[in-house]
Every structure is written in C-alpha cells, then in structure tokens.
Amino acid sequence: MELAATPIQRHKTAIRRPSYSLPVKCLLRDGLLSRATTLFDYGCGHGQDLELLRDMEILSEGWDPVHRPDVERTAADIVNLGYVINVIENPAERADALRQAWALCRSLLVVAAQLDFVAPDKALPTLNDGLLTSRGTFQKYYTQAELRGYLEEQLGADAIPAAPGVFYLFKDETGKQQFLVNRYRRLATVPTNRVSELLYEQNQELLDPFIQVLTRLGRLPGPDELPEHAAIVERLGSIKRAFALVQRVTNTDPWRVIAKRRAEDLLVYLALARFHRRPAFSELPLPIQRDVKAFYGAYQRACAEADALLFRAGDAAAIDQACCAVRIGCLVDNALLVKSDTLPALDPLLRVYEGCARALVGEVEKSNVTKLHRHSGKVSYLIYRDFEPAGTPTLQLRIKVSLRTLDIDFFDYSKRTEQPAMADAEQNALL
C-alpha cells in the first residue's frame, strides 16, 4: 500500500546518542578529521557531534532545518551528510541536498544512510521509493551497492566505502589516493639493536628523527619529507652517507625488512586501486611517486606486479594454498579465521583478497574475527560478544561479502534467543 500525501515528520528522525555518529567515528579513525581541518555537518540534528568535536578543539559547525535553521551553510574542508538522504521522501529534494553538501566541501564529503539489513521486519506502507514509519517519518533503505551507485551517479565522483552505509567522496584525486595508500600501510617498529659509534652519538639529535622517517618510509626521504635534511647533508655530506652510518649502528637487516614491507604495502594499494580507477603516475601524491621509483624502478613494472597479484586473488587454489601456509589464526575445513587486528600480518595475496571485500563494504566497526573462505571467493566479518580468553564468545553479527557476485549479506544474531557460540578449538587458536 502506498500513501502519496502523508505529512512527513522529518525532525523526529534526529536522535540523541552517547557518542559520535558512525561517519564522524570513521573520519577520526582514518585520521581525516583533526584540529588541522574544519567540518560542516549538513543536517546535524541536535548537534551532538559538534559538541563532542568542539571538546577536541576541532573547528566544526552545523545546520539543521529544524534544530539549527538559523546557522549559515558555509564551506568547510569536510562536510558530513550523515543519515540525511535516507529521510527525505522527495527524490528530487534528496538529490538537491546531496549536491548542495558536495558544493560546500573543499576536500571531502562523507555520506551515511541506512542499509536494508536494519529495515523493520514488519510490513510498512510505502511512499515513493521508501517506507512510511509508524512515527510519521520516511525511511529509504539502501543496499551497499545501491548507495554507492547513487552517490557516484549524482556527483560523478568515486564513492569509497568507509563502513557499511558510509562513503567518502574526495574532491581531490591526490587526497583520495593518499587515503587509499594509508589504508593499506602497516606500522613498522624502529630498529633498537644499536652499537656504539662516536660519529652517530655526535649527531644523534639529527639522526634520531632521520631514523623515525626512514622507518615510516622504508626509503631515503626527500628534502621536503625530513626537516633535518639540510643539516644532515651539511654535517655528513649526503643523505646516503647518513643512512650508511645508521646501518652501521643498527645493522642492515632491519632496514631490508622495513623496505620489503613498504614495497608490499605499495603493491597491495596498487592492486586494490583497480576497484576505482588506478591513477596515472602524475596523479599520485609525490611521496608515493618516490615509493614507486625506490621499490620498483618504474610505475609500469609496479602496476604489472600489482595486476598479477590481483589476478591470483581470484584463484581459489592460490588462496587455499596461502591460507594453509599462514601461521596465525585458525584453519578450519573451508576457511582461515584470523583476529581482525592481525590482518596486516598476512602475506600480500591474502591482504589483497581481504582488501577486495573491504573495498566493497568498508571497515566493519567492532569486527573482531575475519573469515577468509578458502574455496568460494568470500570474506566474512564476524562480531562476537565477550571476545576474550575468559569469556564465551557469541556471534552477534556476520557480514559476508562474495567477491564473485559482489553481493553483501548481513546476518544479525543479536536478537535471537540462542546465539552461535565460538567453538572451543577456534577460541583457543584465536585467543
């Protein structure tokens, strides 16, 4: 049954929450929102995100047609359109709100909307392309793929999943690529096994920051990447000589390991860049151009290796072999189970395999176990309650991504009387 002329109470959809909304959590998690950026919340409701961000001294402002109608809608580095388009019943007005928010952002637009897996089980009256709730509000529920397609069609920009129902749209190609690089870059530990050398000790105030940058980059830094660059060259003759001194003090092996990790991270990024549009070399951020030259010599060679890695990620036999060789997690009949925070420790092939799923669904908040299916081309993200050695982990939510069909399925166990418990063998292996 469709109701065509029902008064919609949009203001009732604004809820009060005890912490940040999911899109703002994503921005903070990914390091995109800080004191160095400004944020405008388009459709901010009661403004709780604004209050919390101001407590962090992050410049933020927001407008809402009911709760903050007198605030001027102004441009900002980041604009948040959180759970707005799903409550606008008029498709033309919905698209207009999206385009207005896009026009206000200088760097990044983050859009969040409700997904279909949270839709009520009971039948509700339809209105236009959505549902009319018992409270007199409108809700349009999207699939992840539908929401992504809608955003890209309306704005003509890549929509990058940040989480289920949350997408980033970058105004600047360089900013987008830097975000994607950072998503797949692992942390490295500064080598600590040092021998005494007088020349190092005499220049330690310059070389300690140099070591930090070397650890982060895995290669020699450019002048703009190291504030101490000129001073090091003046004292030691060149950056290469400084690095030779560092290697004598810390040993050569750790730096080879760090360089190998950075080269793998770059390969994973380039492989997964196929999910959008792999940029031309000139579109890459300058530090990434330097990475390509340092680790692969030429962009064409790096891309060829990345393509080969991505192709292997579609080979079930190669995935099965890689899962069987892993020394972490728990190998079961049809899959490899790993703690989600150990995903960066996997080899590049399995990182790309999981990364293909993340490129579709985004980061799954609170996921503590990731299931890499060995034969079926699927990746599942599992959220367990009481996921700790002394607890009895019970499954609350499972999100399954099929890489062959691009389908995303959500299975909510949280309201069931009996919730699946983790097997003892799996718990012992994972915890």
Whether pTM > 0.75 for this model: the answer is yes
* Residue 8: pLDDT band with limits 50, 70, 90: low
Per-residue pLDDT of 101-142, as tens digits, reads 999 999 999 999 999 988 887 788 888 898 888 778 899 999
Determine what percent of the chain is predicted with pLDDT higher than 90: 83
- Mean pLDDT over the full length of the chain: 93
- How far apart CA 74 and CA 101 sit, in angstroms, is 10
* Residue 15: pLDDT band with limits 50, 70, 90: low
Per-residue pLDDT of 221-241, as tens digits, reads 999 999 999 999 999 999 999
pLDDT at 270: 98
- How far apart CA 343 and CA 13 sit, in angstroms, is 37
How confident is the model over 168-189, as a mean pLDDT? 93
- How far apart CA 16 and CA 223 sit, in angstroms, is 48
DSSP states along 196-237: --HHHHHTHHHHHHHHHHHHHHSSPPPGGG-TTHHHHHHHHS
Domain spanning 10-171: CATH 3.40.50.150: yes
331 pLDDT higher than 60: yes
How confident is the model over 270-277, as a mean pLDDT? 92
Regarding predicted confidence, which is higher, 390 or 242? 242
**Which segments of 202-334 are extended strands (E)?**
330-331
pLDDT at 121: 76
Cβ neighbours of residue 355 under 8 Å, at least 6 residues apart?
A: 184, 268, 271, 272
Per-residue pLDDT of 44-101, as tens digits, reads 998 999 999 999 999 999 999 989 999 999 999 999 999 999 999 999 999 999 999 9
245 pLDDT higher than 70: yes
212 pLDDT higher than 90: yes
Per-residue pLDDT of 250-259, as tens digits, reads 999 999 999 9
Per-residue pLDDT of 275-330, as tens digits, reads 888 999 999 999 999 999 999 999 999 999 999 999 999 999 999 999 999 999 99
* Residue 3: pLDDT band with limits 50, 70, 90: very low
158 pLDDT higher than 90: yes
2 pLDDT higher than 50: no
pLDDT at 195: 76
246 pLDDT higher than 50: yes
1 pLDDT higher than 70: no
Structure tokens at 244: 């030779």
Regarding predicted confidence, which is higher, 316 or 4? 316
Structure tokens at 4: 């065509």
Strand pairing report for 76-82 and 38-42: parallel
11 pLDDT higher than 70: no
pLDDT at 147: 98
17 pLDDT higher than 70: no
Question: Which three-class secondary structure string do you get for 333-368?
Answer: CCEEEEEHHHHHHCCHHHHHHHHHHHHHHCCCCCCC
* Residue 12: pLDDT band with limits 50, 70, 90: low
Cβ neighbours of residue 39 under 8 Å, at least 6 residues apart?
A: 27, 33, 53, 58, 59, 60, 61, 76, 77, 78, 79, 80
- How far apart CA 321 and CA 326 sit, in angstroms, is 9
10 pLDDT higher than 70: no
